[in-house]
Amino acid sequence: MFTMLKNVELYAPEYLGTRDILTAYGKIALVSDRIDTWQQLRPEVVDCSGMVAMPGLVDQHVHITGGGGEQGPGSTIGPISPEELMKAGITTVVGLLGCDGVGKSVQELLMKARSLEADGLTAFIYTGNYGIPAVTITDRVLTDIVLIDKVIGAGEIAISDHRSACPTRNELAKLAYEALTGGMLGGKAGVVHLHVGNGREGLAPLFDLLETTDFPVSMFVPTHLNRNRSLFSQAMRYHKEGGTIDLTAGEHTEEGINVPQCLAMLAESGNGLDRVTVSSDGNGSGAGPTQREAASVAALFDDIRTAVTDYGLPLELVLKTVTENPAKTLKIYPQKGKIAVGSDADILLAEKATLTPRMLLVGGRLRQIFTLKR
Ligand code: ZN
The verdict on residue 374 lying in a domain is: no
> Which residues have CB atoms below 5 A from the ion given as ligand 1?
156, 195
Helices 229-240 and 204-212 pack at an angle, to 10 degrees, of 20
CA of 7 to the centre of ligand 1 (A): 40
Catalytic, out of 20, 144, 281, 346 = 281
Q: Are residues 32 and 81 in the same domain?
A: no
Give the chain's domain count: 2
Distance CA 342, CA 230 (A): 42
Going 55 to 61 to 63 to 64, the CA torsion angle's sign is positive
Q: What 8-state DSSP symbol labels residue 171?
A: H
Of 170, 174, 164, residue with least CA distance to 194: 164
pLDDT band at residue 289 using 50, 70 and 90 as cut-offs? low
Cis (ω within 30 of 0) for the bond into 357?
no
Is 139 catalytic? The answer is no
Q: Are 249 and 255 in contact (CB under 8 A)?
A: no
The CATH number of the domain where 345 resides is what?
2.30.40.10
Q: Are residues 37 and 154 in the same domain?
A: no
The verdict on residue 128 lying in a domain is: yes
Give per-residue burial for 224-260: e unless 16+ CB within 10 Å, then b: bbbbbeebbebbbebbeeebbbbbbbbbeeeebbbbb
Q: Are residues 302 and 348 in the same domain?
A: no
Distance CA 235, CA 253 (A): 18
Q: Are residues 31 and 66 in the same domain?
A: no
Q: Are residues 197 and 297 in the same domain?
A: yes
CA of 280 to the centre of ligand 1 (A): 10
Chain segment 61-95, per-residue pLDDT in tens:
999 999 888 888 888 889 999 999 999 999 999 99
The CATH number of the domain where 179 resides is what?
3.20.20.140
Chain segment 241-284, per-residue pLDDT in tens:
999 999 999 998 999 999 999 999 999 998 899 999 999 999 98
CA of 54 to the centre of ligand 1 (A): 27
Query: How much is the pTM?
Result: 0.96
Q: Are residues 119 and 25 in the same domain?
A: no
CA of 98 to the centre of ligand 1 (A): 6
pLDDT band at residue 372 using 50, 70 and 90 as cut-offs? very low
Q: Are residues 255 and 346 in the same domain?
A: no
Q: Are residues 226 and 343 in the same domain?
A: no
Of 110, 208, 103, 198, residue with least CA distance to 158: 198
Cα pseudo-dihedral 126, 267, 86, 370, rounded to 10: 170
Q: Which domain holds residue 235?
A: 57-329
CA of 86 to the centre of ligand 1 (A): 22
